[in-house]
Structure 1
Amino acid sequence: MTSTATSKPKLAILDDYQGVSLSFADWNAVKGRVETIDVYRDTLHDENAIVQRLQPYEIICAMRERTKFTKGVLERLPNLRFIASTGLYNRGIDTPFARTRGVVASGTGGGGDAVLEHIWALILGSVRQIVREDAHLQAGNLQWQTSVPIGLSGRTIGLLGVGRLGSQVAAVAKVFGMRVIGWSPNLTMERAGKAGVEFVAEKEELLKQSDVLSIHLVHAPSTHHILKLSDLLLLPAHAHLINTSRGPLVEEAALLQVLREGKIAGAGLDVYDIEPLPLDHELRRLKNVTLTPHSAYVSDSNYKVFYEQTVENVLAYLDGKPIRVYE
């Protein structure tokens, strides 16, 4: 479906936190074919607020899963005909329902090694106490050294999920001389072997043996809160938990408890139940966490692919020949 011939469509770019969407691609061809391009730098969670903001737009450019396009939102956006999302898929869009409304959704490439780099930044930042020591130095603390990091060589990293990314994490871990073990609800010994990962038959054994636990699962009803308090208490007291996948994979109240009580040494987190993370959230006050703002996939090279292909997708839609359409 293409825009009406009698008027130019309105276009919105959502969740552009850094205000860079228009600088990572040439939007001139789009500007000549739309009435307006409005850029929003915040994320709305309330469905009424989302609908009120987005009602005028025929074309919406979404950044990953920051704004959720649920059935309740989609059915109240009568002007919407095209969603140009970044990423190979967007679980924040109810794509089947969108199709019943005549709304097409397209995605982009991107990804590369940014997430892998970020995972290891969080692992090293957490176990080496980088943020804590930086804060002491920046604050002019008289005590020169304040912590004793754990060494990685000879330690065990547990992978909760061993897909493409888990396999890459495993390869890097071996450079550090780590033992790599893995478990997921669907992992087999054969798949683990191909990834160069030692297969563990039970989740409980994975947790008990992990000095570092890194999560690499898709969030779905079957994996929601796959780590509860009873699971987290199985981790060694010196363990560090790393989550760059999705916040709700870990029961938040349980994670807060084990961090608050020192049941585990620390956590490196890039994802949260609510994003952006509320300003009064307890995680912002804990000393044994390293936090980043769901930025594992963010890099200049990724943004270049995201926004250049978003422009291509928008132009293809305007030509009546959408490309990279989500199935």
Structure 2
Amino acid sequence: MARPPLSRIVVLDDYGDAVSGAADWSGMPVEIFRSHFPEAELAERLQGADALVLIRERSAVPASLLQRLPALRLIVTAGMRNRILDLDACAVRGIAVCGTNSRASPTVELTWGLILALARRIPEQEQRLRQGGWQQGTGLGLEDATLGIAGLGRIGAGVAAIGRAFGMRLLAWSPNLTAEKAEAAGARLTDKDGLFREADIVTLHLGLGPATRGIVGAAELGLMRPGALLVNTARGPLVDQAALIAALEGGQLGGAAIDTHDPEPMASDDPIRRAPNTILTPHLGYVTRQNFRFYCEGAVECLRAWRAGAPLPRPLNAAAQATWEPTA
């Protein structure tokens, strides 16, 4: 049996107009949505779509959306994991799902950009200079400071490598981290309380799930040294936002740099926008030209394989592993 042809392919949430030039989409019926839509409106706009390309986790694709898209046959998600794509519902509906390659280095790089900006108070000092002033206060030097890394996967290990280059002392913790893995990254394994108590800077690189949602709350923030810094380039819901704002407003924390939020895009009245001593970025961790080339070239590879009846690269469910004849 031949695969049905793809007559309407939609790329979601291309906020920065990065998709069209990142790969050769020629010969394919591709539409690119450059705005984010709530589920009800998205369902209307996607009628007749038989393939979706998702840019990371910008739009949720739950069962309630999938059931309103009867023509959908294929989803390509950027990267190899997407926590807001319902794979079980895709399986029930026979929708093939495949992923793309990606790099950890862009998030590592942004993490260090935020650490440096926060530690040396770069945005604050730059703004003061532009307003006619001069330097005020002092920053935190990184050499001999203690960096606490929560989560030591690909990104956390990359962050650790740069921390060593700065001459920092490294602590690491995650629920399943071993002393051997921490040592291999040049860090000392500690427990969660020890990480927050001892670190001058804590950076979060944990996955988000039921066990980690809100894992940084008032208790953990209360353990941190006065003036300590928190960086989150992982997932917004890892941190209890109300507790974080209270710690910032009360002066317990020296500052926080946050790249990930809940929901995304961030609401215009989100209270974190008004919190003191913060650097806020709009989920830029993975947003580089190189990473978008990985995403888009991988998506094109999946789409062309579908059309050719070839095995889909990087399958994420059984439907993506099925064999088909080439489409006439």
TM over 0.5: yes
Residue type of the partner of 2:44?
Q
Equivalent residue number for residue 4 of structure 2: 4
The 8 Å contact of residues 152 and 182 in structure 2, kept in 1 or not, is answered as yes
State the distance in 1 between where 2:277 and 2:232 align: 14
Q: How does 1:1-327 map to 2 (within 5 A)?
A: 4=4, 9-30=7-28, 34=29, 37-44=30-37, 46-138=38-130, 140-141=131-132, 143-200=133-190, 202-321=191-310, 322-327=312-317
Q: Provide the TM-score with structure 1 as the length reference.
A: 0.92
Partner deviation per Cα, 1:128-156 (whole Å, 9 max, x = no partner): 11111112223x23x31123111111110
State the distance in 2 between where 1:73 and 1:239 align: 42
State the distance in 2 between where 1:174 and 1:156 align: 11
Partner deviation per Cα, 1:212-234 (whole Å, 9 max, x = no partner): 00011000101111111111111
Over 3 Å counting, the alpha-carbon distance change for 1:2 and 1:231 in structure 2 is farther
State the distance in 2 between where 1:255 and 1:112 align: 26
The 8 Å contact of residues 257 and 280 in structure 2, kept in 1 or not, is answered as yes
Residue type of the partner of 2:235?
R
Partner of 2:194, secondary structure, is: helix
Partner deviation per Cα, 1:271-325 (whole Å, 9 max, x = no partner): 0111111122222223411111101111111111111111111111122332221
State the distance in 1 between where 2:283 and 2:251 align: 24
Deviation of 1:2 after TM superposition, in Å, equals 6.2
Q: Report the identity percentage.
A: 36
State the distance in 2 between where 1:90 and 1:192 align: 26
State the distance in 2 between where 1:220 and 1:288 align: 28
State the distance in 2 between where 1:53 and 1:136 align: 46
Partner of 1:233, secondary structure, is: helix
The 8 Å contact of residues 2 and 317 in structure 1, kept in 2 or not, is answered as no
State the distance in 2 between where 1:2 and 1:299 align: 37
The 8 Å contact of residues 105 and 155 in structure 2, kept in 1 or not, is answered as no
The 8 Å contact of residues 3 and 9 in structure 1, kept in 2 or not, is answered as no
The 8 Å contact of residues 243 and 268 in structure 1, kept in 2 or not, is answered as yes
The 8 Å contact of residues 120 and 139 in structure 2, kept in 1 or not, is answered as yes
Partner of 1:225, secondary structure, is: coil
Report the aligned-residue RMSD.
1.6
Partner of 2:231, secondary structure, is: strand
Deviation of 1:112 after TM superposition, in Å, equals 4.4
The 8 Å contact of residues 10 and 59 in structure 1, kept in 2 or not, is answered as yes
Unaligned ranges ≥5, structure 2: 318-328
The 8 Å contact of residues 2 and 318 in structure 1, kept in 2 or not, is answered as no
State the distance in 1 between where 2:148 and 2:104 align: 23
The 8 Å contact of residues 13 and 55 in structure 2, kept in 1 or not, is answered as yes
The 8 Å contact of residues 56 and 77 in structure 2, kept in 1 or not, is answered as yes
Unaligned ranges ≥5, structure 1: none
Paired residues, number: 316
Q: Provide the TM-score with structure 2 as the length reference.
A: 0.92
